[in-house]
């Protein structure tokens, strides 16, 4: 009796469908865990998003020995702690920044006395917050721009507004 072996019986058989499914799931889990481990370390580098606000600026006494600029807010996208906010002003080619607006902001401009006050909802920037910048001493040059900066991200909350 002669045994005939066909060519298709000589080939190795593939793994079963169950083993194949288990392998695919295991590979997917390992890839997902690796991706999470790699990208999880970068999440701390992503900064806080910058909130936004609508701000209007009014001025009085420009060109005199006592200039006042009042920043009034009509809307703020989210509660923002005044400890995370600074005011940046531009006078000609020079830029000056306040210390954080809470607890007591200061602004140093050479040759001038600058006073920054806030009023409104306590320690948060809200729609009823008012910021006043008073410049005295000599004849202070007029401010060119005023902007509010969110210190965690370095982005503009409002402005820069030309005054």
89-118: per-residue pLDDT in tens?
A: 888 788 888 888 888 888 888 777 788 888
In this structure, what token pair is assigned to residue 119?
A: 């009023």
Query: Looking at the domain covering 53-162, what would its CATH class be?
Result: mainly beta
Give pLDDT tens digits for 19-64.
889 999 999 999 998 888 777 766 655 666 788 888 888 888 877 7
CB neighbours of residue 113 within 10 Å? 14
* Per-domain residue ranges of the chain: 7-45, 53-162
DSSP assignment of 93-142, as one string?
TEEEEPSPSSS------TTSEEEEEEESSTTEE-TT-EEEEEEESS-PPP
């Amino acid at each position: 009796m002669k045994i005939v072996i066909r060519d298709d019986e000589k080939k190795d058989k593939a793994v079963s469908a169950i083993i194949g499914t288990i392998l695919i799931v295991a590979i997917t889990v390992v890839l997902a865990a690796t991706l999470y481990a790699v990208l999880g370390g970068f999440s701390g580098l992503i900064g806080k998003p910058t909130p936004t606000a609508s701000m209007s600026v009014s001025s009085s006494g420009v060109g005199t020995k006592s200039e006042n600029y009042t920043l009034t807010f009509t809307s703020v996208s989210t509660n923002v702690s005044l400890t995370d906010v600074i005011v940046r002003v531009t006078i000609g080619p020079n830029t000056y920044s306040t210390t954080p607006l809470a607890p007591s902001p200061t602004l140093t401009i050479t040759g001038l006395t600058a006073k920054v006050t806030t009023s409104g909802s306590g320690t948060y920037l809200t729609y009823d917050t008012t910021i006043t910048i008073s410049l005295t001493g000599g004849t202070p040059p007029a401010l060119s721009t005023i902007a509010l900066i969110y210190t965690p991200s370095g982005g503009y909350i409002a402005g820069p507004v030309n005054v």
